[in-house]
C-alpha cells in the first residue's frame, strides 16, 4: 500500500526496508539497538530503582505502567513506562497529557518533565518491540484515526526518539492551560509530528540515527542547542522548508490539518 507523498517520493513498507539496506543490514541495526538498550538499562539501573521507589512511596501504587501500543505493521505490544498518574486514571480522561493535567502525581510531573518516565522502554527495545530511533508508538484509538498518509509511520519499528521527539520534547508545556488538550494536540502538534515522522522514514540511516541520539541528549541538556542542531541537520538532508522551520521552534505553532501537506507550504507569521 502506498502511504504518502513526501519530498516527491511514495512511502510504503518496501521503501522503508530499501532505505535500511542502503546503509546496513537489519541484523546490524538490531544488534546495535540490543547492545545500546542493555548498556542503557545497566547504567540507568540505579536511577530507575530510585525512581520506582519514589513512585511507590508517593501513593503506594505500582511504579510501572503498561499500556497497549501499536507497533510495526500495526502489530500491538505492551509499552512499559514509569507510572506518572494517579492509580486508576490511566484509562479515563484525555489521551493527550498537559503539564497541568490533574491526573499527574507530584513525582510523576517531575519524571515527565525530565523524560525519566520513558527509561523503562529500553526493555521494549531489548525484547524487539521498539528501536532506539523511530516514530513514537501510539495507542490503538489514535492509530485508527490515522490518515492514509500517516499509516506510513507503521512501516518501521517505533522508537524512543526521532525528529518529532526532539522538536516536541515540551509537548506537555505546549498543552498547558488548554481547555481541550486532545483538540489542540490534533491541530498544533500531530500534523508536524506526522510530517517529521514520515520524512524520517524516507531518509532513515544508521548515521542519521546516531545523530538523532546525540541531538536527543543535547536537547535534554540545553534545548536551544539541540533544536539548532536538528534544524541544521534537516537542512543538510534537504528537508522541506516547513519542517526545517518548525524544528527551530522560534515561531508560534500554526494549526493545520494532519498530516502536513509538504507540497503546499504552510504560511508562517
Residue 162: HSE in the Cβ half-sphere, 13 Å Cα cutoff:
27
Peptide bond just before 30 cis, omega within 30 deg: no
Question: Phi and psi at residue 128, in whole multiples of 5°?
Answer: 95, 5
pLDDT tens-digit readout, 40-56: 999 999 999 999 999 99
pLDDT for the residue 4: 42
Other C-beta atoms lying within 10 Å of the C-beta of residue 152: 28
Q: Are strands 64-70 and 131-133 parallel, antiparallel or unpaired?
A: unpaired
- Strand segments, DSSP code E, in 191-267 are none
Check whether 256 has a pLDDT greater than 60. Answer: yes
- The candidate with the shortest Cα–Cα distance to 171, out of 117, 128, 213, 119, is 117
Please compute the mean of the pLDDT values over residues 230-257 and round it to a whole number: 93
Taking residues 104-129, what's their average pLDDT? 95
CB neighbour list of residue 100: distance below 8 Å, 6 or more residues apart:
176, 177
- The separation between CA 265 and the C-alpha centre of its own chain, rounded to angstroms, equals 23
Alpha-carbon 77 to chain mean position: 16
Q: Which helix (H) or strand (E) holds 174?
A: helix 171-174
132 to 37, 123, 240: CA distances (angstroms): 8, 11, 24
Q: Mean pLDDT, to the nearest integer, of 122-150?
A: 95
What is the value of pTM for the model shown? 0.86
Q: Where are the domains of the chain?
A: 4-248
Nearest one of 169, 174, 166 to 231, comparing CA atoms: 166
Would you say 169 and 223 are in contact if contact means Cβ atoms under 8 Å apart? Answer: yes
Place of cell 540545553: 222
SS3 readout for 31-78: HHHHHHHHHHHHHHHHHHHHHHHHHHHHHCCCCEEEEEEECHHHCEEE
Q: CA dist 237 to 59, 205, 240, Å?
A: 47, 12, 9
End-to-end Cα distance, the chain: 37
**164: confidence class by pLDDT, cuts 50, 70, 90:** very high
Amino acid at each position: 500500500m502506498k502511504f504518502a507523498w513526501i519530498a516527491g517520493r511514495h512511502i510504503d513498507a518496501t521503501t522503508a526496508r530499501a532505505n535500511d539496506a542502503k546503509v546496513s543490514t537489519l541484523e546490524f541495526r538490531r544488534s546495535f539497538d540490543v547492545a545500546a538498550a542493555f548498556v542503557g538499562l545497566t547504567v540507568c539501573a540505579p536511577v530507575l530503582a530510585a525512581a520506582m521507589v519514589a513512585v511507590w512511596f508517593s501513593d503506594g501504587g505500582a511504579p510501572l505502567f503498561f499500556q497497549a501500543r501499536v507497533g510495526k505493521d500495526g502489530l500491538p505490544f505492551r509499552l512499559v513506562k514509569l507510572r506518572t498518574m494517579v492509580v486508576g486514571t490511566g484509562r479515563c480522561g484525555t489521551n493527550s497529557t498537559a503539564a497541568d493535567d490533574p491526573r499527574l502525581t507530584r513525582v510523576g510531573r517531575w519524571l515527565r518533565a525530565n523524560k525519566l518516565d520513558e527509561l523503562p522502554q529500553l526493555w521494549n527495545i531489548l525484547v524487539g518491540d521498539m528501536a532506539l530511533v523511530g516514530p513514537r508508538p501510539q495507542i490503538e484509538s489514535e492509530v485508527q484515526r490515522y490518515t492514509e498518509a500517516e499509516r506510513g509511520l507503521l512501516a518501521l519499528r517505533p522508537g524512543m526518539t526521532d525528529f518529532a521527539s526532539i522538536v516536541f520534547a515540551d509537548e506537555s508545556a505546549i498543552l498547558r492551560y488548554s481547555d481541550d488538550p486532545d483538540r489542540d494536540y490534533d491541530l498544533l502538534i500531530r500534523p508536524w509530528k506526522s510530517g517529521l515522522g514520515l520524512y524520517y522514514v524516507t531518509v532513515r540511516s544508521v548515521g542519521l540515527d546516531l545523530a538523532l541520539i546525540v541531538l536527543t541528549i543535547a536537547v535534554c541538556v540545553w534545548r536551544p542547542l539541540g533544536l539548532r542542531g536538528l534544524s541544521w541537520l534537516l537542512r543538510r538532508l534537504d528537508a522541506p522548508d516547513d519542517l526545517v522551520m518548525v524544528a527551530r521552534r522560534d515561531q508560534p505553532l500554526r494549526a493545520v490539518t494532519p498530516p502536513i501537506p509538504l507540497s503546499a507550504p504552510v504560511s508562517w507569521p
